[in-house]
A and B are shown apart, each in its own frame.
Chain A
């Protein structure tokens, strides 16, 4: 059975061109960028080249706006804690959409220990932010507002420019997590009006172990990790040169090929959605049109997502789910609850994130496997009457 990997939101293969480009930094060019000898300078040059490529992907004002981190989780923590603690004199309120990644929500929750107030802005049933609620919530005491460009679990693309206008009218900072969006849809920090932006290397087909935080010139930020003062003091620790060089090359390729790849994936996405929704009692989650080009998310009544995932894996098709049973916390996805699903509805979710390996010919294979999976699990389920048929 051919493997059909539809879990690109969880992890992506590294682009072979990136592997070729970055591999020397594991061997011959192993230098520490802080060393002043020639081997160190080569490594330093690799990091700076990567900085330029990452800056170009998001149209940053200059290369120095990019701080490399160990991944998107660290970049989100730096954005939230770094702005909140640095600007504590202007206020102690942090604000996020209810569908942010845990690496935004949990540092905000943690700031409550430091006396901060944390407010979550709700979304509608398609995942779009409630802009009126955002406007009425923001005050001069708000230090940072975090809204993701697009959501990883339901694929919904947020109206970032409208959100930015609201945030900037109040003179506040907007942090945007683009882990799911960057490299798939155009992101432009200047046109979109973004003050801080999170990027993940692996979500661009780069190596795991690197991420970046864009910080607009003039934004006041402090470090979260302290040490030798690398990354202009904002992220101490010897740079992961291999992963950073790879991230840069991945960003360059993403910028060059994003449009073409999106145009290729959108018809596959749309066909897969149409086909999956022919299954009895299946429903789309997220927005029908304001959706990432590679993102398909549905739910099936009366069955449970971990069982769906395991059963699909038997067909060598890898998907993901927001079910509680597949999570470490045993809570269903906060994103699915935020769009108004009941617990028992959220349990039946299936997420397919397409990638460069996905082809139109995969669609009927996935549809057949999903149909058989749903039928089998419903026959087992006391919540449905399938067994009577």
Chain B
């Protein structure tokens, strides 16, 4: 039977999103989307010894945009950054028991935002190490 509307899991994450908010001075920050398209997501991470110890998000967008953001923070929390880098849009959708077909692309940007945050972390770390060598 075709799925009508959102799954219960999507609605549960939409109504009770995990890890909402901001981290001041995060170790990594990623932002994707654009308000014109109707979806903007940002993810903040704190990292210790390459493990994501804290993660927060804020999202402007539809129900699935909010639910996927919430889900990706749950999947990434406590993971090694290299492991978290492997989380895909498909993983997020699967964990949410599926998304309506037309939502798979536009509103499933949360994994991208996570990847951006991890890249930002790695860049900062690299810069720090380079800075350290100079001393």
Contact = CB atoms under 8 A, between A and B. Distances in A.
Interface in B31-74: 31, 35-42, 58-63, 65-66
Nearest to B41: A382
Interface residues of B, dominant DSSP: mixed
B11 A381 contact: no
A325 B39 CA distance: 9
Interface in A298-320: 302-304, 306-307, 310-311, 314
Contacts of A314: 15
B60 A381 contact: yes
Nearest to A343: B36
Interface stretch (A17-25, A229-237, A326-334): A326-334
A306 B63 contact: yes
A324 B41 CA distance: 17
Given A325-B107, A382-B31, A387-B21, A344 B36 contact: yes
Size bracket, chain B contacts: 20 to 34
Nearest to A382: B58
Given A307-B66, A310-B14, A380-B20, A324 B38 contact: yes
B20 A379 contact: yes
Contacts of A332: 38
A383 B35 CA distance: 8
Interface residue tally of chain A, by bracket? 20 to 34
B106 interface: yes
A380 B36 contact: no
A323 interface: yes
A101 interface: no
B22 interface: yes
Interface in A344-364: 344, 347
A383 B38 contact: no
B60 A382 contact: yes
A310 B11 CA distance: 9
Nearest to A314: B15
Interface of B: 6, 11, 14-15, 17, 20-22, 31, 35-42, 58-63, 65-66, 102-103, 106-107
17 contacts: A304-B60, A304-B62, A307-B65, A310-B6, A314-B15, A324-B38, A325-B65, A325-B106, A343-B36, A344-B38, A347-B35, A347-B38, A379-B20, A380-B60, A381-B59, A381-B60, A383-B35
